[in-house]
Amino acid sequence: MQCLQFDFNLVFLDSAAQKVLIVYAHQSPCSFNTGAKDAAVEELKNKGCEVTVSDLYDMKFKASATAEDITGGVKNAGHFRYAQEIKLAWEEGRLSSDITEEQRKVTEADLIIFQFPMYWFSVPAIMKGWIDRVLTPGFAYSQEKRYSQGMFKDKKALLSFTTGSPEAMFSPTGIHGDMNVSLWPLQNGILHYCGFQVLAPQIFWAPSSQTPEARKSMLGDWRTRLDKLMGEEPLSFLPLDDFDEKCLQLKPDVAEKLASKEFGPALGIHLGKRLPPNSQMKAGV
Amino acid sequence: MQCLQFDFNLVFLDSAAQKVLIVYAHQSPCSFNTGAKDAAVEELKNKGCEVTVSDLYDMKFKASATAEDITGGVKNAGHFRYAQEIKLAWEEGRLSSDITEEQRKVTEADLIIFQFPMYWFSVPAIMKGWIDRVLTPGFAYSQEKRYSQGMFKDKKALLSFTTGSPEAMFSPTGIHGDMNVSLWPLQNGILHYCGFQVLAPQIFWAPSSQTPEARKSMLGDWRTRLDKLMGEEPLSFLPLDDFDEKCLQLKPDVAEKLASKEFGPALGIHLGKRLPPNSQMKAGV
């Protein structure tokens, strides 16, 4: 009986449509970012995916983390602690409806695409607000369930964004510095922290400086990539098992094995060695 | 006559009170962050500084970058481009009053302290909103005036923040990775980009896990530091002159001089070498 049920589930999972959530932040429907978002919606739907878009500016999504995110009163109004209060509110089903609705979309999604223009080497504030408010403790992570053991380890996530400057300026010899470094806090600290399998970012370098033909070509490349996106190998991060449970430091035997390597094992966990090149931008590095 | 005027200015500058702006983001007046902010206000006032606090949650500071930031209508409503529109609005004095007021405070300040709890390896969304909306093109930077030639090169800035995890977890062997890496996009990409002399960050490691005595001691250390803060040597970044004007790549002769060095010249501009240790956390590194 158990075997039959197992088979049924396998068949069900195979035939179920993949669900994609696009968290999208641009103010204008004529923007390149809209073009990238629309291309993703179209290509993924053509492949049979169910696609949902959270259009943050259109939704006037609340960015700031406040006591209004909790319904039915906070536990300690005298000393309001956001993380504790939203964890409790999540457990008791008392988060505000806008957060609950986004969490429902996250729960259903197999893949989340964040589509945005890079603002100040990061996501725009409205998208940071989505991250701060939706990825609540309890729902998105716990002390036990994070990084490679994270809540969302069966889901994939991808940053898709435009820059204002060309690629060379974001290199290890360019004035803005290595883009891999700027991506680490976002991709390791947010996406990998929640357990997501992080797909290589889709970076549209300075589309506003390009000809209409070049912009069209960039979107064409994105469409080509989308066709096989769900089968891509994710970026590589160190497994949680490589760290000791108490202090979350790299275990001595793991560190010893890495001692003779030229590069550090991960961008932030570099052990004083050279950074692994392009580890935040390409899979299999 | 010119000489007399020069002397007068020198005397005036010497005797003028230093002005400090604290951009502060915590929801609760009982928090450790409030304690850190209050300590800064008190110590700096005791030293004769004029201190202004922008209490972002109390102000209900708008975080999202929208067309409402521009008064008197936008130039191109059909294709709204935030950066272009706010640059024009700044030139024409048509930014919304909340932005104009914060820009006035920035213009007057000799030092800006950003006081916040670290959310997802960065600033909370409400503070990212302050950065996105207040540091507008034209006001805070231009193509010509950025990095070491930046608009605010005569001002200092400092990140003062609390973490949820202890220091070891943010080391090059810790699970979160090197804190220096996470600070680079904030300190290089925002503060140094605008020209600020970036003082070493004040990091309060996991105060919520500490005893009341330990928390008091942390604030005591902060008060001691504040006493001599304005005389501190800033963090080191590469001068804009080290990059070619066209592509903003490190000049070949500069790169050649650095070729024999063990460490890269800056965290993001690492040239494939080992990262300079603690370059985002300590001056003189």
Interval A49-94: pLDDT, tens: 999 999 999 999 999 999 999 999 999 988 999 999 999 999 999 9
Sorting pLDDT into bands at 50, 70 and 90, what band is A13?
very low
pLDDT at B100: 98
Share of chain B above pLDDT 70, in %: 95
Closest CA to B125 of A128, A145, A159, A134: A128
Helix (H, G, I), strand (E, B) or coil at B183: helix
pLDDT at B176: 98
Is some CB atom of chain A closer than 8 A to the CB atom of B46?
Answer: no
Query: To which residue do tokens 């006001």 refer?
Result: B139
pLDDT at A279: 97
Decide: B253 and B242 in contact? Cβ < 8 Å.
Answer: no
Q: Torsions phi, psi of B173, nearest 5?
A: -115, 0
Q: Looking at the partner chain, which of B31, B66, B190 has a beta carbon nearest the beta carbon of A120? A: B190
Q: Both ends of chain B: CA-CA distance in Å?
A: 44
pLDDT at A3: 42
pLDDT at A240: 97
- Cβ-Cβ contacts under 8 Å, B269 against chain A: 172-175, 177-178
Sorting pLDDT into bands at 50, 70 and 90, what band is A35?
very high
Mean per-residue pLDDT for A18-35? 97
**pLDDT tens column, B17-67:** 899 999 999 999 999 999 999 999 999 999 999 999 999 999 999 999 999
**Chain B interface, mutation test: which of A120, A123, A176, A241, most B Cβ atoms within 10 Å?**
A120
Q: Do A132 and B147 lie within an 8 Å CB cutoff?
A: no
If you ran DSSP here, which 8-state letter would residue B139 be given? T
Sorting pLDDT into bands at 50, 70 and 90, what band is A17?
confident
Q: Both ends of chain A: CA-CA distance in Å?
A: 44
Q: Residue A105 pLDDT > 70, yes or no?
A: yes
pLDDT at B17: 86
**Residues A212, A214, A216, A219: is their CA dihedral positive or negative?**
negative
**pLDDT tens column, B112-126:** 999 999 999 999 999
Helix (H, G, I), strand (E, B) or coil at B248: coil
Mean per-residue pLDDT for B134-149? 97
Mean per-residue pLDDT for B141-161? 97
Is some CB atom of chain A closer than 8 A to the CB atom of B81?
Answer: yes
- Cβ-Cβ contacts under 8 Å, A80 against chain B: 27-28
Report how far residue A15's alpha carbon sits from residue A222's, in angstroms, rounded to the nearest whole number.
25
pLDDT at A169: 98
Query: Which A residues in the span 153-172 are in contact with B, Cβ-Cβ below 8 Å?
Result: 164-165, 168-169, 171-172
Report how far residue A4's alpha carbon sits from residue A10's, in angstroms, rounded to the nearest whole number.
10
Closest CA to A125 of B190, B164, B33: B190
Closest CA to B70 of B81, B58, B59: B81
The ipTM, to two decimals, is 0.94
Q: Residue B12 pLDDT > 60, yes or no?
A: no
**Chain A interface, mutation test: which of B30, B132, B187, most A Cβ atoms within 10 Å?**
B132
Is some CB atom of chain B closer than 8 A to the CB atom of A254?
Answer: no
pLDDT at A284: 76
Q: Torsions phi, psi of A268, nearest 5?
A: -80, -30
Q: Residue B3 pLDDT > 60, yes or no?
A: no
Distance to chain A for B68, nearest Cα, Å:
11
Q: Residue B104 pLDDT > 90, yes or no?
A: yes
Mean per-residue pLDDT for A255-263? 95
Q: Do A82 and B27 lie within an 8 Å CB cutoff?
A: yes
Q: Looking at the partner chain, which of B120, B172, B264 has a beta carbon nearest the beta carbon of A189? A: B120
CB atoms within 10 A of CB B239: 11
**pLDDT tens column, A131-166:** 999 999 999 999 999 999 999 999 999 999 999 999
Report how far residue A271's alpha carbon sits from residue B178's, in angstroms, rounded to the nearest whole number.
9
Q: Torsions phi, psi of B160, nearest 5?
A: -125, 115
Average pLDDT, chain A: 94
Q: Residue B15 pLDDT > 60, yes or no?
A: no
pLDDT at B8: 45
Closest chain A residue by Cα to residue B172: A269
Query: Which A residues in the span 199-238 are in contact with B, Cβ-Cβ below 8 Å?
Result: none
Q: Do A173 and B271 lie within an 8 Å CB cutoff?
A: yes
- Cβ-Cβ contacts under 8 Å, B132 against chain A: 119-120, 124-125
SS3 labels along chain A: CHHHHHHHHHHHHHHCCCEEEEEECCCCCCCHHHHHHHHHHHHHHHCCCEEEEEECCCCCCCCCCCHHHECCCCCCCCCCCHHHHHHHHHHCCCECHHHHHHHHHHHHCCEEEEEEECECCECCHHHHHHHHHHCCECCCECCCCCHHHCCCCCCEEEEEEECCCCHHHHCCCECCCCHHHHHHHHHHHHHHCCCCEECCCEEECCHHHCCHHHHHHHHHHHHHHHHCHHHCCCCCCCCHHHECCCCCEECHHHHHHHCCCCECCCCCCCCCCECCCCCCCCCCC
Decide: B63 and A63 in contact? Cβ < 8 Å.
Answer: yes
pLDDT at B16: 72
Q: Torsions phi, psi of B230, nearest 5?
A: -65, -15
Mean per-residue pLDDT for A16-21? 91
pLDDT at A7: 44
Average pLDDT, chain B: 94
Q: Do B240 and A175 lie within an 8 Å CB cutoff?
A: yes
Residues paired with B158 in a beta bridge: B113
Closest CA to B235 of B284, B192, B278, B271: B284
Query: Which A residues in the span 47-66 are in contact with B, Cβ-Cβ below 8 Å?
Result: 56-57, 60-61, 63-66
Mean per-residue pLDDT for B162-168? 98
Is some CB atom of chain A closer than 8 A to the CB atom of B34?
Answer: no
**pLDDT tens column, B219-259:** 999 999 999 999 999 999 999 999 999 999 999 999 999 99
Is some CB atom of chain A closer than 8 A to the CB atom of B96?
Answer: no
Share of chain A above pLDDT 70, in %: 95
Please tell me the least confidently modeled range out of A74-83, A97-106, B86-95.
A74-83
Query: Which A residues in the span 173-202 are in contact with B, Cβ-Cβ below 8 Å?
Result: 173-178, 181-182, 184-186, 188-190, 193
Q: Torsions phi, psi of A2, nearest 5?
A: -60, -40
User: Between A and B, how many residue pairs show a Cβ–Cβ distance under 8 A?
Assistant: 247
Of the CA atoms within 13 Å of residue B89, those in its CB half-sphere come to 27
Report how far residue B34's alpha carbon sits from residue B58's, in angstroms, rounded to the nearest whole number.
12
| Measured CA distances, A72 to A66, A130, B235 (Å) | 14, 22, 46
pLDDT at B284: 77
**pLDDT tens column, A197-254:** 999 999 999 999 999 999 999 999 999 999 999 999 999 999 999 999 999 999 999 9
pLDDT at B78: 87
Q: Looking at the partner chain, which of B63, B250, B269 has a beta carbon nearest the beta carbon of A63? A: B63
Q: Residue A1 pLDDT > 80, yes or no?
A: no
pTM, two decimal places? 0.94
Report how far residue A114's alpha carbon sits from residue A123's, in angstroms, rounded to the nearest whole number.
9
Q: Looking at the partner chain, which of B119, B121, B249 has a beta carbon nearest the beta carbon of A174? A: B249
Helix (H, G, I), strand (E, B) or coil at B191: helix
- Cβ-Cβ contacts under 8 Å, A281 against chain B: none
pLDDT at A46: 96
